[in-house]
Amino acid sequence: MDRVLDLIRKEEKRQKETLMLIPSENYSSKAVRAAVGSVLSHKYSEGYPKKRYYQGNKIVDEIEQIGINRAKKLFGVPHANVQPYSGSPANAAVLFALVSPGEPIMGMQLAAGGHLTHGQPNITFSGKYFKSVQFGVDEKGLIDYDEVGKLAKKEKPRLLIIGPTAYPLKFDWKRFDEIADSVGAWLVADIAHVAGLIIAGVYPSPAKFAHVITTTTHKTLRGPRGAIIMVTKKGLSRDSDLAVKIDRAVFPGLQGGPHDNQTAGIAIALDEASTPGFKKYGRQIIKNARFLSKELIQGGLRLVGGVTETHLMLIDLRSKKLAGNVVAEALEVAGIVVNRNSVPNDTMPPFYPSGIRLGSPAVTTRGMKEFEMKKIAGWILEIINYVKNYKLPKDPKRRISFMKEYKQKIGGDKFLINIAKKVKELCKEFPVS
Ligand SMILES: Cc1ncc(COP(=O)(O)O)c(C=O)c1O
C-alpha cells in the first residue's frame, strides 16, 4: 500500500480514538466525503452555472445550482457563491471586491478572538494591502461596543469585517450594523465558526444587519473544506450590483476553476443541515460547551468571558503560570486534542501563547452529552494540575529545548497514558461514521 494511504488510515484511527476538541474541526458525513473523493475533481468549470468557459458542465451546473439554492434558503439571503476554496480566499475576494488597496478596513484583533484575514497587520494580505484598524477587548475579554464605535468614527473605515474565531460570547450584530452605518462602511459578517449554530437557531443571524456574509463550510456546518459568500437584502439595496461584484471578485478575480467535488460536498452538507436532527445537534453543542465551561470554572480555571454562550471556550492559563503549549502537549498524550491560543492582551508570542481553546462541535457530532462533558472536564483539570510545575523558561532561547525535553518526558508518562486509555474507551461508545 502507498505510504500515504497507510498514513490516512492511521489518521482515521487517531480521529476515532481521541477527543476532537478543536472548535473549528468536525466529522463530516460519509456522503460528504464521497462527494469530495468523487470524479467531480476531474472536471474544469471556470465560470458560473450556464455561463461556463468549458464544455461538459451540464451536470456540474445542476450540482452548483442546488448548492446555491440550498445556501440561499438556509441562511435567508438572495445571493450565494459556493465557489471559494476556503474561508481565507472568501474573505480576500470580499475585500478585493469592496475596498481598494490602501483604504482603511476595521476588524477584531486575532488575540481578541478575530481572524487573521480580518486585518492582522504586517503578516497577512488583509493587513498589508489595506490600512488596517484593529479593535481589541476589555480586561474581561469582552467587546466594548462604545469603544469600537469611537474608533470607527476616528478612523472612518470603508469596511468592517468581523466574526468570531476565539470569542466565546454572542456577537451583537445590530450594534456592529449601527457602527458601520455611522461611518457609511460595509459590514461583512464572517460566520465561519458559528454557521451551523445560526442554522440551528442557537446563535444570532447577521442576515438582517450585514451587507455580505462569509462562512467556511467545514466547522460547525459539518461539510467539506470550503466556503460560501452571501449577499444580503440589505447589501443589494445598498448596491444592486453587489452580487455581480462579489462573483467577479471570486472568479476571475481571485480563483480559476472551482473545486466541483467540494461544491457537491457543500450542497450535501447544506441538505443535512436543513434537517431537524441538525437543529438538535446545534442545541446540544451549546449545552455541552456551557456545561464543560461551567465544570472547568468550578475546577478553578479562568475562562475568557466566563461561561461560554457558544461552542467554544478559551482557558486563560496565566493564573496557573502555565503556557498553552505545555498543557496542549500533555492533553494530546492523554488523547484530548485542543489547540494552544493567545488570550486577550497576551504578553506571550503567538507560538507560546497563554491559553488553550476548546469546543464541543465534534464530540457532539459523536453523540456525547453533558455526562461525557463532566468526564472530559475532570480529565482536563487533572492534567493541568499534573503538569503545573512545568514552567516555560523566561529566556526565549531556551524554550525550544525545554519543549523538546518536556515532550520526551511526557510522551511515555503512565498517568497520561492511563487517561488516554479511558478516552479511547469513551470514544468506542460513540463511534464516528
Ligand atoms: C472566522 C474565520 N474566518 C475565516 C477562517 C479561514 O478559514 P480557512 O482556514 O478555511 O481559510 C477561519 C478559520 O479558522 C475563521 O475562524
Determine the Cα–Cα distance for residues 190 and 90; give it in Å rounded to an integer: 10
284 lines ligand 1 (CB under 6 A): no
Contact call for residues 103 and 158 (beta carbons, < 8 A): yes
pLDDT at res. 1: 79
88 C-alpha to center of ligand 1: Å? 6
115 lines ligand 1 (CB under 6 A): yes
Q: Which of 44, 48, 129, 386 is catalytic?
A: 44
27 C-alpha to center of ligand 1: Å? 17
348 C-alpha to center of ligand 1: Å? 23
Per-residue pLDDT of the chain (433 residues), as tens digits, is 799 999 999 999 999 999 999 999 999 999 999 999 999 999 999 999 999 999 999 999 999 999 999 999 999 999 999 999 999 999 999 999 999 999 999 999 999 999 999 999 999 999 999 999 999 999 889 999 999 999 999 999 999 999 999 999 999 999 999 999 999 999 999 999 999 999 999 999 999 999 999 999 999 999 999 999 999 999 999 999 999 999 999 999 999 999 999 999 999 999 999 999 999 999 999 999 999 999 999 999 999 999 999 999 999 999 999 999 999 999 999 999 999 999 999 999 999 999 999 999 999 999 999 999 999 999 999 999 999 999 999 999 999 999 999 999 999 999 999 999 999 999 999 999 8
Active-site residue flag, 190: yes
User: What is the C-alpha end-to-end distance of the chain, expressed in Å?
Assistant: 23
86 lines ligand 1 (CB under 6 A): yes
pLDDT at res. 419: 98
Cell numbers describing residue 420: 488516554
Pocket test for ligand 1, best of 22, 109, 115, 342 (most atoms within 8 A of CB): 115
Cut 0.85: pTM above it = yes
Q: DSSP 3-state assignment of 262?
A: helix
Domains and CATH numbers, the chain: 37-272 (3.40.640.10), 276-429 (3.90.1150.10)
| Pairing of the two strands 227-231 and 79-81 | antiparallel
Q: What are phi and psi of 152, to 5 degrees?
A: -65, -45
192 C-alpha to center of ligand 1: Å? 6
Shortest-distance atom of ligand 1 to CA 226? 10
Work out the angle between the directed axes of helices 173-182 and 145-155 (0-180°, nearest 10). 20
Active-site residue flag, 239: no
193 lines ligand 1 (CB under 6 A): yes
Determine the Cα–Cα distance for residues 84 and 214; give it in Å rounded to an integer: 10
Active-site residue flag, 46: yes
Q: DSSP 3-state assignment of 313?
A: strand
205 C-alpha to center of ligand 1: Å? 18
- In this structure, the number of other CB atoms found within 10 A of the CB of residue 306 comes to 16
Determine the Cα–Cα distance for residues 398 and 26; give it in Å rounded to an integer: 35
| Pairing of the two strands 302-303 and 159-162 | unpaired
Shortest-distance atom of ligand 1 to CA 114? 1
Active-site residue flag, 321: no
pLDDT at res. 334: 98
Active-site residue flag, 219: yes
Active-site residue flag, 398: no
By alpha-carbon position, which residue is closest to atom 13 of ligand 1?
87
Cα dist. 26→23, 217, 328, 369, 432 in Å?
A: 8, 10, 19, 16, 11
pLDDT at res. 12: 97
Determine the Cα–Cα distance for residues 67 and 27; give it in Å rounded to an integer: 20
